[in-house]
Amino acid sequence: MATVTTLSTRVHRYLTDPVATWRTGSRESQTLTLVALLVGVTACFAVSLTRYPLMPLTSYYVWLLLGMLLLRFRPLVVLSLVATTMAVTAMVVANDLNATRVTAILNLVVSVGLVLFASSRQHSGLPGPLSEAMLTDLRRRLQASGTVPPLPHGWTSQSAMLASNGIGYGGDFLVADLTQDGRRLEMILVDVCGKGVGAAAQALQFGGALGGLIGSLPPQGLFEAANDFLLRQGNDESFSTAVHVTVDLETGDYLLTSAGHPPALVWWPQEAEWRVAAARGTALGILPQPEMHTSTGTLGPGQALMFYTDGVIEYRSRDLDVGLQWLRERGASAVADGFDGAAGRLLSDVRRGEDDRAVLILHRATEPATLEQGVPESRPTTS
C-alpha cells in the first residue's frame, strides 16, 4: 500500500510540473519520461498495425528525436530498441518486404546508431538540453560575479568583459564585497589560466572559494589562502593572476595588492592621464610563497582606479609596455566625455580574440561623497 501511495505521489508531482521534474535529471524523472515516451510509441504501434499509412515507419523517428532530447543514455537505449522493434514489426505485418522497405529499415537502424552514439558522447551524462541549461547557468553565475554592490553617493563602478572568440564563457571574473555600513569596498579581479570554456569551470570554482574568503581575511592572508587552494588542485595549469583593492569610501584611502596581475592605473583629472599604480608580483598557484606587491594611495574627487586583465594589452602588442601605453592613451579618451560607459567604450576597441579580457573602473565623483546620502550608483556592464 505504501508503495502504491509513493508511486501515486511521484506521478502527481510529475504531472503537476513535468518540466521542473525532468530538469532534475534524476532517475525518477528519467523513468517517468521514458514511460511517457513508451506509451506514445505503443499508441503509434497500435495505429500502425491497423492503418499503417497513418503511422508508417518514418513516424517513429519523432520518438527517437524526442528521446535524444529528453533522455539520458540508458533510458534512450531502451526507447530506441522498443521503437525500432515496433517500427519494423508494423512494417512487416502491414506490407510484404521489398528492396525499398529493407532500405528504409536499414536507414532506421543507422539513425538509431547515430542517436545512441551522440548521446553516449554527452560527458555530463545528461540529455543535451539539460547540459545546455547547466552551461547557461554557468554563464549567468560568471556574469553575476562581475556585479559590484550598489555604492554610496559619489562613487560609481562599472565593468566590461569579453570572452575569447565571443563564446560567452571565460576565465576572467570579479568578486566584490561591501561592508554593511557601506564604508569599505573590497574587489578582486582575477584572470584564470586558459581561455574561454576551458577556463570557465575553473573560474567558477575559484570564484566560489574567493567569494567565501573576501571580507573575512586581510588581502595578503586572502591571497595566501587562495594560493594554497590552487596548489591543492594538483594541476600544473591551475594558476591565476589577481589584484585586490580595499577602498575606504569615506576617505578615499585604498590599498592595492597584486599577485602577478597587470599594474592598476590611477586617473589624474588635472593632467587628464592614467598613471601606473602597482607592480605585478607572482601569480597564484605556482609557488608556496608567492611574491605580492602592495601600494597605497588616496582617491580624491574626480580620480578613479582602473583594473584590467592582460588580454586587454597583449592584444595590441607582444610588448606589454607598448600595450600598457596604448591602454593609458585609449583610457584617457574613453573617459573624456565622462565615466559612464567608459569600460564598455574601452573594450569596444579591443577585438575579440584568443584571450579573455576584462576592465573594471572605480570612480570617485568630483563632489564630496557622504555615506548618509545613500544614493546607490553602480553601473556594471557585460558584453
- Three-class DSSP category at 262: coil
Cell matching residue 189? 579581479
Residues 127 and 120: their CA atoms lie apart, in Å, by 10
In eight-state DSSP terms, residue 368 is: P
d(CA 249, CA 61): 63
Sign of the alpha-carbon torsion through 162, 168, 170, 176: positive
Instruction: Answer whether 0.85 is exceeded by the pTM.
Output: no
- Digit-coded pLDDT (tens) for 138-158: 666 656 655 788 899 899 998
- What are 104's three cell numbers? 528504409
- Name 356's Cβ contacts closer than 8 Å, sequence gap at least 6: 161, 162, 163, 164, 170, 171, 172, 191, 195, 196, 199, 309, 311
Kindly compute the dihedral angle of the four CA atoms of residues 146, 143, 383, 315, in this order, to the nearest 10 degrees. Answer: 70
- Parallel, antiparallel, or unpaired: how do β-strands 293-298 and 253-259 relate? antiparallel
Model confidence pLDDT, tens digit, residues 185-233: 999 998 887 655 556 667 777 887 888 888 889 999 999 999 998 888 8
The length of the chain in residues reads: 383
Helix (H) or strand (E) holding 257: strand 253-259
Q: What tens digit of pLDDT does each residue of 310-361 get?
A: 888 875 555 778 888 989 999 999 998 889 989 988 888 876 666 778 899 9
**Is the confidence at residue 136, as pLDDT, over 80?**
no
Distance CA 152, CA 177 (A): 13
Q: Residue 320 is inside which H or E element, if any?
A: helix 320-334
In the chain, what are the helix, strand and coil shares in percent, each to the nearest 5?
50, 20, 35
Does residue 383 surpass a pLDDT of 50?
Answer: no
What is the rounded CA–CA span in Å between residue 244 and residue 181? 20
- Which of 59-68, 78-87, 192-201 is the least confident region? 192-201
* Predicted confidence band of residue 363 (pLDDT cuts 50, 70, 90): very high
Please tell me the predicted confidence (pLDDT) of residue 135.
61
